[in-house]
Amino acid sequence: MDNAKIGAYIQMLRHRAGLTQKELAERLNISFQAVSKWETGESLPDTGILLDVADILGVSVDKLLTGGAFITNERKLMRLEDVKIGFELLEDIGRCFGEKCTFYTAMIDGINEKMNMDILEYLKNPKTRDVMYAEVLIQGIMDGKTVDMEEIEAGLENKKMVEVIREYLKKAEA
């Protein structure tokens, strides 16, 4: 594990959550110095509070301990949570770089052209967002990955997309 990478990721997540080191520490019943040590890479959160840290920062423990790295390419199981985070990161690029930044607009234009859609409009609507999540999962299934159908059923509101994913998974397993 790369303590510095994990620390930088914790700091980024803390900032994204709008928390100071002191506020995060208070929620965890620890000192702000402990949070500071995590963020500088001097130490890592104790295992006893790791789940609470991940929960407060809105990520899974495995995501936290990889410093935010996507590990779906390294394993066969594709997680809906990772797909959702991927789309959130796409939106974050616009907030970080500015929505008029050439890099961001070129990226969005490229997606829109390739997919024949307006991705920003699709992201605003929960129903079309679910369709995009399903599309990514289906592509993963077609590339040899698998999914946890219980996670899909719990995480997608669009039940038609759940059934489509189930059908692709059955075909892939056959």
> Domain of 28: which CATH number?
1.10.260.40
Please indicate, yes or no, whether residues 26 and 78 belong to a single structural domain of this protein.
no
Q: What is the residue range of 35's domain? A: 3-65
- Tokens found for residue 77: 């199981």
Give the integer Cα–Cα distance in Å for 174 and 171.
5
pLDDT at 95 over 50: yes
- Tokens found for residue 174: 């056959």
**Of 95, 49, 29, whose CA–CA distance to 10 is shortest?**
49
Helix orientation angle between 126-142 and 80-97, rounded to the nearest 10 degrees:
120
Please indicate, yes or no, whether residues 54 and 13 belong to a single structural domain of this protein.
yes
Confidence of residue 71 (pLDDT cuts 50, 70, 90): low
CA distances from 149 to 40, 106, 131, 139 (A): 38, 35, 16, 15
Mean pLDDT of 46-57: 91
Strand partners of residue 77: 146
Confidence of residue 62 (pLDDT cuts 50, 70, 90): confident
Strand partners of residue 146: 77
Please indicate, yes or no, whether residues 82 and 35 belong to a single structural domain of this protein.
no
End-to-end CA distance of the chain: 38
Q: pLDDT at position 72, please? A: 47
Please indicate, yes or no, whether residues 100 and 132 belong to a single structural domain of this protein.
yes
Question: What is the pTM for the complete model shown?
Answer: 0.59
